[in-house]
Amino acid sequence: RQELINLDYSTSFLEAQERLHIIHRHMTAQAFIIPLWELDDFMVFPRQRLKNFIGRPISTYHGVERWTLLP
């Protein structure tokens, strides 16, 4: 939370950019996320573990609300 507050108090673009990089590093180290803007037309996933996936989706995340990832 403090990092977001620090970002809000940035006084220049370079300072804001550096603080965003810090937040990004912490997020990638602590959470399993796939930023949607980094994916495009191709997907890689464990077919045996992903259930309810439509074979030829219209877009990358078509039907994502129905997907289930098994352990």
Per-residue confidence (pLDDT) for residue 50, from 0 to 100: 85
CA–CA gap between residue 34 and residue 16 (Å, rounded): 22
Average pLDDT over residues 16-22: 95
In terms of Cα–Cα distance, which of 7, 29, 8, 27 is closest to 18?
7
Domain spans in the chain, listed from the N-terminal domain onward: 1-33, 38-71
Residue corresponding to tokens 């220049």: 12
The model's pTM: 0.44
pLDDT at 37 over 90: no
- Give the tokens for residue 67: 């997907």
